[in-house]
Structure 1
Amino acid sequence: MGSQLISLLMLSLLFSLTTISNASRPIPDYYSHDAIKTVNLGGWLVTEGWITPHLFDDIPINKDLLDGTQIQLKSITLKNYLSANNGGGSTVSANQPAASTWETFKLWRITETSFQFRVLNWQFFSLDDNGKLVATSTASDDSNSLHNFMILRNDGEPNRVRIKAPNGSFLKVNSDATVTADHPERTSWGDDDPSVFLLTNVLQLKGEFQVTNAYGSDSAASVMKKHWESFIVEEDFKFVSENGLNGVRIPVGWWISFDPNPPRPFVGGSLHALDNAFSWAEKYNLKVIIDIHAMPSSQNGWEHSGTRDGLQSWGQSYDDIRQSTAVVDFLTSRYANRTSLYAIELINEPLAPGVTLDTLKKYYRVGYNTVRKYSNVHVIMSNRLSIGDPKELIQFASGFSGSVVDVHYYNVFSSIFEGMSVQQNIDYIYNNRAPALSSLMISNGPLIFVGEWVDDMDVQDASKNDYQRFGSAQLDVYGRATFGWSYWTLKADQNQWSLEWMIKNGYIKI
């Protein structure tokens, strides 16, 4: 009996301590929840070049050859493209008259003129013992000089390039299509020079890694500080509060948890900006959703995930989950007692099939428990993109009190919207989006959040009235989401994507 009494006393004490601990946390009322109307602060603490192209204007040299830039190289003499045979793992030859995947290479920018070349299967350019160009190395870092090649451009025709190899000689194309590093320094840049290539820039990434690495640590620190202090300011929070919105969703990158000294090339300072955001939100009575937008190793390979070259590898080892959970821990513990903290979004737009459902559930479980160590705020679990079943998280999330499932709805970026009229886009919102959204909202299930949408369509020359009608339809349907919605984004270089511009110019009224 004595041991049972002690056990009961211990349980009572534990319950009391837990109650006391929980009582100090902000506790949302999940059952009388008012749907929120928020806007994303995209392009602020996680760079996206299409939102803020001016950030890249002052990169001094080769601003079109940033990390992750995809290029193709055509021999001026053989008229063939360099190709990594079998996509990598063997030699590189100039034997293809047309360019596709094996002929497309991704750059790692080491200096303003020195680069590493990564092929389809992720191996790097190097030289074999005979000076022949190969793509066999599967690992590299910036200090590996055996993978560093210098790109020299013709002043009068910058798409004409020569490539100096690690051995000090230039690459040249031989008559048998082999590529060797044995051409001397001299050149006429003429069509008879086997060391001259035509460079085609296929695709660029313009994210946080690209902008900070291109400027270098010293310059990047001042460039980013100016951006963080000017792109989003207190007046923007006042504007949000005065125009029918009651919160902001703030994308952040994993490196913020290392501020003020994040791993290179990222620079410190974004954490101070986030601190300011909380103060402004509290001043104007706005809710804050922290959205972990960029993950270690990249969850989708896109520039907004902080990737260097488009490789998506988040979740392939438990270390990725451990690092990501540490970010959740850092952010939640730092802001748990701020009255404006409303939700933590554990990850943004994980992309299937690279991110498996099993891996994502493992992360969501440990991420949720990490948030609950400090706070009872909502925990948002983002749907995977490119999945066949948008309900794949619903039953899982139902097991976590205060959970939210985030879906993103855009009428762009997909071939199904090509050729649609304005009215067809509006009909799609009511006939497809509305029932899809409704199917997610089950009894005793998680709340549903349309975390990103925009008043833009794949329609040429749409009128102001067209955008007003399309925006109104989305506000109607997405307003039915049990958690609410968030427009992407507050400010952007493209007008339709800037909610500020859309409101000020009468396109949208919240």
Structure 2
Amino acid sequence: MKASSATGTLCSWLLLLLLTHLCLWMRVQAREVPSFRFKAVNLGGWLVTERWIKPSLFDGIPNKDLLDGTQVQFRSTAWGKYLCAEKGGDSIIVANRSSPSGWETFKLWRVTEDQFQFRVFNSQFVGLNVGGGPSSSVLAVATAPGVSETFQIIRKADDPNRVHIKAPNGMFLQAKSEDVVTADFSGEPGWEDSSKAVFVMNAFGGFGGEFQVTNGYGPQATQVMHDHWNTFIVEDDFSFVAKNGLNAVRIPVGWWTAVNPTPAPFVDGSLDILDKAFSWAEKYGLKVIVDLHAPPYSQNGWEHSATRDGTIEFGSTQETIDKTVGIIEFFASRYANSPSLAAVELINEPRAPEVSLDALTQYYKAGYDAVRRHSSTAYVIMSNRLGSPSSPTELFPLANGRSGTVIDVHYYNLFSSDFNNLSVQQNIDFIYQTRASQLNTVTSANGPLSFVGEWVAEWQVQNAAKEDYQKFAKAQLDVYGRASFGWAYWTLKNVNPHWSLRWMIENGYITL
């Protein structure tokens, strides 16, 4: 009897073990669609600054047209030619180009409101010669800027595009000839066209991200950002979200939020705000998607990645990957026990071809494992690459076989000339036909879940009626509602009304 009983117990345990493994296998294969689809809104422009969302945030910055990453060109008034980094860098500076292009364009690194470093086409920095030649010689050879690469731009009071450039040796840059640019003009250069130390500056481009706003304000940045964080999104917004048919928020975050002490120029305090967001979400029964919008090294060169000057470095070295995995690990460990944590998005909108599929795959594997070390239930979202070459399903081999994975796609009827001349009905047809087909491609019964992580009821149509917007929004809700994980509107608040879901709901443009 005892032997029979022991055999029966062993069989029971083996059966239980078999059923457990079978359930795990089925979960991996079926991807276990959430009990409800996420209807979310992005809290963009809050913890990761984007100037276009709230331009007034930048109003108090002195010389706010010369922020980090702004591109400048300098035309010598004496010669009528542009300053140029010969060969694009690793050489001298000349003033012999009749028209400006890449080598004649410099990216600003802002040090103070009127002191800057100039990054040239090949990524070196303009500076004084400190290698044994004439100390007044101006070269573009430094790979990292220092005191010798820091110049002051002095603008004419009544004509701010007319400038002097003061070198770190206390003298002014001058174009002695078209082929000789030196930093040895002493005294007052004056503003006459004949002065070889006068240049006409053309400033354009630039960014309005977290780096620009914090570095632009300098010592004032802490107060400015704290005021912004505490007023732009408040508890009432979470209440509003919960009362209006939404069940989640996607919160873009930056890497500096996970680092203590906060690295300059970023300011501390954003982690406290993120903690507060989780407490509000818990209070109102909302889920949270933590979205790494801005990794330590830019993944796309756009301002929402908190880039300094548009350079894309993510994935270029092992260090960039390892450091970003550490950021994900921090967020996963901090919020793993929150009932509101729904998902961690490993990175937002990596750009091809600058970010290779191999580098992204390596990062996504490590990032997935970092989340799983702290949570077995949080979904792990992998954003598709934007740009070419990339494929909507290129992440499937990676996501397949890993439970709780989600592929994020962003759909806008914007940012392409293809939409410039479409009528109201053509835009709506594009949603029901092309977007539906695209979404079907990334929505697979046996593959990762699909998530339209960003969309908006805005388009290129001019003077459209309210009814047209309502139809356009409804079309997107109909189609994107088929995504197996859900969707998230971009964004909750915005000075541009159709980009603000709160405004769209309150004014009857969208009903959920």
Q: Would the TM-score normalized by the shorter structure come out above 0.5?
A: yes
Q: Deviations over 1:342-398 (max 9, x none)?
A: 000011111111111111111111111111111121000000110341111123211
Change (3 A) 1:285 1:29: farther
* Separation of aligned partners in 2, 1:32 and 1:458: 35
Structure 1 contact 85–93 (Cα < 8 Å) conserved: yes
Normalising by structure 1, we get a TM-score of 0.91
* Contact 2:214–2:221 (8 Å) recurs in 1: yes
For 1:288, the equivalent position in structure 2 comes to: 288
Does residue 37 of structure 1 match 2:71?
no
Deviation at 1:476, TM superposition (A): 1.1
User: Does residue 172 of structure 1 match 2:171?
Assistant: no
Q: Counterpart of 1:30 in 2: which secondary structure?
A: coil
**For residue 300 of structure 1, what is the amino acid of its counterpart?**
N
* Residue 334 (structure 2) aligns with: 334
Distance 1:415 1:29, change over 3 A: closer
Once the two structures are superposed, the pairs formed by residues 32-431 of structure 1 within 5 Å of their partners are 33-59=35-61, 61-128=62-129, 129-130=133-134, 131-140=136-145, 144-216=146-218, 218-259=219-260, 261-375=261-375, 376-387=377-388, 388-431=390-433
One-letter identity of the residue aligned with 1:154: K
Deviations 1:280-308 (A, max 9, x none): 11111111000011011111111111111
| Map of 2:6 onto structure 1 | none
Tell me, yes or no, if the aligned pair for 2:95 and 2:177 is still in contact at 8 Å.
no
Q: CA deviation at 1:32?
A: 5.3
Counterpart AA for 1:112? E
Residue type of the partner of 1:414? S
Matched to 1:135, the amino acid is: A
Structure 1, 129-138 or 71-80: larger mean CA deviation: 129-138
Residue number in structure 2 paired with 1:5: none
1:431: Cα distance to partner? 2.0
Letter in 1 for 2:250: R
Instruction: Return the alpha-carbon distance in structure 2 between the equivalents of residues 31 and 341 of structure 1.
Output: 16
CA 1:311/1:342 → structure 2, altered by over 3 Å: closer, same or farther? Answer: same
Report matched runs for 1:435-474 at 5 Å: 435-474=437-476
Alignment coverage as a number of residue pairs: 484
> Is the CA contact (8 Å cut-off) linking 2:31 and 2:446 kept in structure 1?
no
Give the residue type in structure 1 aligned to 2:40. Answer: T
Contact 2:383 2:409 in 1 (8 A): yes
Instruction: Report the RMSD for the aligned CA atoms in angstroms.
Output: 2.0
Comparing 467-476 with 418-427, which one deviates more in the overlay? 418-427
2:158 is paired with a residue of what secondary structure?
coil
What's the TM-score, normalizing by structure 2? 0.91
Matches of 2:93 and 2:479, distance apart in 1: 53
Which segment is superposed worse, 493-502 or 233-242? 493-502
| Equivalent residues of 1:395, 1:445 under 8 A apart | no
Residue in 1 that maps onto 2:503: 501
Deviations 1:451-508 (A, max 9, x none): 0111111222222222212111111111111100001100111111111111111111
Paired amino acid for 1:263: P
Distance in structure 1 (CA, Å) of the matches to 2:250 and 2:391: 25
CA shift, 1:185, in A, is 2.9
Tell me how far apart the structure 1 counterparts of residues 67 and 244 of structure 2 sit (CA, whole Å): 39
**Match for residue 4 of structure 2?**
none
For residue 188 of structure 1, report the CA deviation from its aligned partner: 2.4
**Cα distance, 1:167 vs structure 2:** 1.9
Determine if contact 2:424/2:461 at 8 Å carries over to the other structure: yes
| Structure 1 position 439, deviation (Å) | 1.1
What secondary structure sits across from 1:209 in the alignment? Answer: helix
Q: Secondary structure at the match of 1:468?
A: helix
- Structure 1: runs of 5 or more not aligned: 1-7, 23-27
The Cα shift of 1:118 comes to: 0.3
Q: Shift in Å at residue 29 of structure 1? A: 8.8
Q: Give the Cα separation in 2 of the matches to 1:92 and 1:488.
A: 44
What residue identity is the alignment partner of 2:371?
Answer: V
Change (3 A) 1:81 1:461: farther
Secondary structure of 1:159's counterpart equals: strand
Equivalent AA in structure 1 for residue 396 of structure 2: I
**Percent identity of the aligned residues?**
56
Whole-angstrom CA distance in 1 between matches of 2:59 and 2:178: 42
In structure 2, the residue matched to 1:25 is none
Letter of the 1:340 counterpart: S
Offset from partner CA, 1:258-291 (integer Å, 9 cap, x none): 14x2111111111111111111111111110000
Which SS does the other structure have where 1:276 is aligned? helix
Q: Render the CA deviation track for 1:5-41: whole Å, top value 9, x for unaligned.
A: xxx9xx99xx9xx99xx9xxxxx99245321110000
Structure-2 change in CA distance of 1:473 and 1:185 (3 Å): farther
Partners of 2:473 and 2:98 in 1: CA distance: 47
User: Structure 1 residues 417-426 or 323-332, which shifts more?
Assistant: 417-426
Distance 1:100 1:424, change over 3 A: farther
Cα gap change, 1:352/1:395 in structure 2, threshold over 3 Å: closer, same or farther? same
Letter in 2 for 1:227: H
Deviation at 1:64, TM superposition (A): 1.2
In 2, Cα distance between equivalents of 1:371 and 1:175? 60
User: Which amino acid counterpart does residue 295 of structure 2 have in structure 1?
Assistant: M
Match of 1:249, SS state, is strand
Contact 1:297 1:320 in 2 (8 A): yes
Match of 1:4 in 2: none
